[in-house]
Amino acid sequence: MQGLIEPNEIIFSQGLKASNDNYLKWFANKQVYTTGQQISLIVGEVSDEFVTPNGCIGYSIIIDPSPITPGGDPRMIIIFNGSPASFPFKDDANIQNLPIFNSPYNAYVEIKDALQFDNQLRVACTVSIIYYRLKYRDR
């Protein structure tokens, strides 16, 4: 059986070309890769709407305020497909580099979400979106 698993196999190691199961065989030449974007928002700004890219199987959202100011609990409102969700931030919390939202991930279901951001943090911030995508190894 040696040589059937390609080097650096990162999606379902059981996804072998030699598998008798077509579902497992489909993953044999795929890999996960990430793309991302950053959105800078001033206080009170609402971003344009961003649609997840083709092949997206999941995403993470990270908020980087600069810096949080004392005097209340500010919020970031994320609008998922037209439905707002409010994410509160504590003034004394260090939230940098922590995803505030991780979408459900499923390697065989493409996600098509429209995302919009409403900065209610009372400070400027950068929103980073990391998209997890599936691609063929040789493309």
DSSP one-letter code for 28: G
What is the residue type of 57? I
Distinct helix (H) and strand (E) counts, the chain: 1, 8
pLDDT at 73 over 60: no
- CA–CA distance, 133 with 136 (Å, rounded to integer): 10
* pLDDT score, position 3: 44
**What letter does residue 48 receive in the DSSP assignment?**
P
Distance (Å) of CA 123 to CA 26, 75, 104: 47, 10, 29
pLDDT at 90: 66
Which amino acid would we find at residue 56?
C
Q: Which of 65, 51, 53 is nearest to 119 (CA)?
A: 65
- With cut-offs at 50, 70 and 90, classify the pLDDT of residue 121: confident
Task: Please give the radius of gyration of the chain, using alpha carbons only, rounded to the nearest integer.
Answer: 19
pLDDT surpasses 60 at 38: yes
